[in-house]
Amino acid sequence: MNEVTLLFESLMQEIQIIKTYVANVSATSVFPERFDKVWIDGQDVMLSLHISKRTLQYLRDSGVLPYSRINGKFYYKIADIENLLVKNYTASPLNSDKLCK
């Protein structure tokens, strides 16, 4: 039984070392979140929203959709796209009871 207790304590110490290491790496990271989950390129926006390249350009040019441009390639924040969708959300005027009849 004493051997099991020693093994358990040793494992707990190792887990604590790993937790400390992960916390230190996270604290020193420039981008704590995954960078590729925050920004997407224009192609992904067009595929996700089922819009054309010209429509995406119009959303950019009219200031409706903020963007970042690096070496001629446009990037968009996922949060901005979600905000655009929420802002333009229209609830169905139909009552759900009518759909069931």
Q: pLDDT tens for residues 29-80?
A: 555 555 557 899 999 999 999 999 999 999 999 999 999 999 999 999 999 9
pLDDT the model gives residue 76: 96
Q: Provide the β-strand partners of residue 70.
A: 73
Task: Please give the backbone phi and psi of residue 81, each rounded to the nearest 5 degrees, phi first.
Answer: -65, -45
pLDDT the model gives residue 92: 79
Average pLDDT of 12-22?
Answer: 83
pLDDT category of residue 10 using cuts at 50, 70 and 90: confident
pLDDT the model gives residue 97: 60
Return the domain boundaries, the chain.
35-80
Show Cβ contacts of residue 75 under 8 Å, excluding neighbours closer than 6 positions.
39, 40, 41, 42, 67, 68, 69
pLDDT the model gives residue 73: 96
